Structure 1
Amino acid sequence: MLDAGYLLLMIGPLAAPLPAPLPLTEAVKSVSVNSGGTRSGFQISFHTGKTSPLNLAMLPLGFFDPMITRVVITMVYRGIPQVLMDGVVTRQEIAPSNTPGESTLTLTGEDLSVLMDVVQVRMPWPAVPEAGRVATILAKYAAFGIVPMVIPPMMPSVDSPTSRFDTQDATDRAYLDQLAQANSYVFFVEPGPVPLTSIAYFGPDIRIPVPQPALNVNMDAFTNVESLSFSLDGLAKKQTILLTYDPATGKIPIPVPVPNLSLTHPPLGLRPTPPAQILFEGAATRLTPDRAAKRALEIMMSARDAITGQGSLDVAAYGGILRARMLVGVRGAGLAYDGLYYVNTVSHTISPGRYRQSFTLSRDGLIAAGPAVLP
């Protein structure tokens, strides 16, 4: 498909998808993958027609039926395979055309976490810590190659079952999202590192601290991106003050400023953006000390990055595949905006002979923290 890479497509039943047959791979029109958020998705378009095997056999026999068809998309670039998507088809669309060769079949789907969002479960969890609940829920999906990576909360709280206990009254996916939000964590399913395996991550939103090849803009022959722009939101940073009562009398309110700094997203710039708003949180006065500390940690973990960037690139010009949830350097944007950034999301668009990506970046603070952008 590309001079330095090619696409591998696996499709079939949930338990054992197989390499796509030749008529199917030859009919691929385009492949799109969105990754980096709490849910990832994909869309594949195929050329079809009246005499196409897709139309005559595969569709009628249920080869593309939603919720039972698994798709694994792997890109081999310069000899290195990277699993872009391991998901389930959730929707199929057929668009017949009066123009020969223009009829298309489109498959849309999500990552394997969609399997956790099907059945509503009512389950009591007496005296079970959050990490134990997450591991127990994820164990049910080991048959699909999902490997759990569970990081226990920084401030765990286990109530006595004689006083109260939590009850799951939602789908597994919704309940895992609730636990993640309550602990200022994230939950997502990341495909790979090898086909037919995925990692279910429950923990703090930490970016892998390994910089990818830098994005060069406005550097003549060294430019490797098609577009790149940045914006600084002056209202993104907030100073929150928790109000709590003194432990001696329990009547005198004490203001406790919460640092406007994410523990998992430290500033990557020398000049951090100052907070533009001051908020008072009085609800902490009704919380126990451990719950108040947990609330302060939640505020710190949810601090937003003031600087955001977005752009697009051609993989052939960039020389590699940009991955989400990692770091990347920027050159040529000027003294204020050069430096390292977090890669939040990446969208892949693959068509015969071309591989493009669009991406979003973020960080807090102007001016690069280091003297040079590497690599």
Structure 2
Amino acid sequence: MSLMIGSRMTVPPIAPPRLSEALERVEVSYSDQGRSGFQLSFRMGRGLKDLLDYSLVTERLLKPINNRVVIVVYFNVSRHVLLDGIITNHQLSPSNDPGAATLTVTGEDVGLVMNLEEKRQMQPWSDIVCIESILKNYSYLGFTLCDDNVSDPARQAPSETAQQPTQAGITDLAYIQSLAGRYGYRFYITPGPIPGSNRVYWGGQNRKGPSQKALSANMGPHTNVDSISFQYDALGPSRFGYFQNDQKQTPISQGSSERLQSPLAGETVPVHRTSALEDTGLYSQMADESVAGKLAQARFDTLLNDPITGSGELDAMRYGGILEIGKLVDVRGVGRSYDGTYYVKSVNHRIDVRKKEYKQGFTLTRDGFGPVSPRVSV
């Protein structure tokens, strides 16, 4: 593992020995919805040079907001950027035992810098162009926008009678999140592939690409999970029954209430709840009615929440790599009903430097029971 700390305006250098040698624990949490964060725990004591205060408490490289932390982990010859974030908080825990005091440094992903200043300004007509424009203001963070799962409505300009969108007194981050909520999209930032660069995902749930290395349970020497469990929530998914605006309710045909995304399960479960598709004013602004329909479909795909949830913990050393959010992973060894492909919704990384342990907690989701294919990627 490699620790890098420095100014948030540049790619930070390798941390000095006084910090890397004191680092005891690392915890990093990622989710495909909401903010991602981290905690670094440093063990410290006070010698003759630290009579007035703990040296790490006054360490300039650990000052909140101004400093950026990057952590890189290595599996064999493969490099993975585990963390790229901004320090926001300190917590000191003194101890009566010599050298047992702890300084816990907490922070958020680099998206924090987009949440420091409220702005009032006009934005481009196309939402995807708007996001690209905002990200250019933070080029020093190495942002790359991943928009492969963005539907037509986000790329289409509204009708000529629509008002130009305005960022009305909110931060850049809050504005991007509001646009994501309009379409039912996911918005999150993950570090890499090289230190100092970051991938920005803004779009629908990603069900494309190959699966990651399989999670195996009850497989003897091939087992790589410490624990795993599953839950079926029959009231989780919902469908749109009608379109609601100020004047009337318009029924939505059954054909338009079918998910366009590829199923992850061989047997989808029935939907028992019906909701209304509220008119946000965006549908009437669309120049093309078919695009407005696609927007409604995108929101429906999000409303139809995956009723199957899996959670557990794995040993990263035994797994041989990092389980990444926003991608697919195969599960085997838990029985036909729950074997198969899942979407990785969240991952929590926990590294104990002194014990040389690396654990990953995870949450998986999908739309039904049974695998689509009898084979999984191992």
TM-score (structure 2 length as normaliser): 0.87
Whether the 8 Å contact between 1:10 and 1:20 is mirrored in structure 2 is yes
Which consecutive residues of structure 2, in runs of 5 or more, have no partner in the other structure?
Answer: none
The 3 A distance-change label for structure 1 pair 287 and 145 is: closer
- Aligned ranges 1:268-283 → 2 under 5 Å: 268-281=264-277
Whether the 8 Å contact between 1:243 and 1:284 is mirrored in structure 2 is no
Report what 1:192 is aligned to.
Answer: 192
The 3 A distance-change label for structure 1 pair 171 and 304 is: same
| Mapped pair 1:32 → 2:27 | yes
More deviation, 342-351/177-186? 177-186
Distance, in Å, in 1 between the alignment partners of 2:234 and 2:66 is 47
Q: In percent, how many aligned pairs have the same letter? A: 34
The 3 A distance-change label for structure 1 pair 94 and 276 is: same
CA deviations over 1:182-215 (Å, ceiling 9, x no partner): 1232222221000011122222221452212211
Report what 2:9 is aligned to.
Answer: 15
Which consecutive residues of structure 1, in runs of 5 or more, have no partner in the other structure?
Answer: 1-6
Which residue type is aligned with residue 263 of structure 1? L
The 3 A distance-change label for structure 1 pair 282 and 342 is: closer
The 3 A distance-change label for structure 1 pair 282 and 35 is: closer
The secondary structure found in structure 2 opposite 1:235 is coil
- Aligned ranges 1:195-274 → 2 under 5 Å: 195-243=195-243, 254-257=251-254, 259-264=256-261, 266-274=262-270
Which residue type is aligned with residue 212 of structure 1? Q
CA deviations over 1:272-322 (Å, ceiling 9, x no partner): 011112335475999534545523431223321110000001112223222
Report what 2:305 is aligned to.
Answer: 304
Report what 2:335 is aligned to.
Answer: 334
Distance, in Å, in 1 between the alignment partners of 2:130 and 2:282 is 27
The 3 A distance-change label for structure 1 pair 150 and 209 is: closer
Whether the 8 Å contact between 1:329 and 1:340 is mirrored in structure 2 is yes
Report what 1:143 is aligned to.
Answer: 140
Aligned residues: 363
Q: CA RMSD in A?
A: 2.8
TM-score (structure 1 length as normaliser): 0.88
The secondary structure found in structure 2 opposite 1:209 is coil
The 3 A distance-change label for structure 1 pair 131 and 101 is: same
The 3 A distance-change label for structure 1 pair 299 and 23 is: same
Distance, in Å, in 2 between the alignment partners of 1:324 and 1:173 is 20
CA deviations over 1:231-287 (Å, ceiling 9, x no partner): 111112223222489xxxx999554236555434x3211110111123354759995
Whether the 8 Å contact between 2:152 and 2:294 is mirrored in structure 1 is no
Distance, in Å, in 2 between the alignment partners of 1:52 and 1:10 is 28
The 3 A distance-change label for structure 1 pair 278 and 253 is: closer
Report what 1:3 is aligned to.
Answer: none
2:364 to 356, 361, 367: 361
More deviation, 352-361/279-288? 279-288
CA deviations over 1:137-195 (Å, ceiling 9, x no partner): 11000022223344654124534677522210210000001111112322222210000
Distance, in Å, in 1 between the alignment partners of 2:187 and 2:313 is 27
1:43 to 39, 42, 47: 39
Whether the 8 Å contact between 2:244 and 2:276 is mirrored in structure 1 is no
More deviation, 180-189/166-175? 180-189
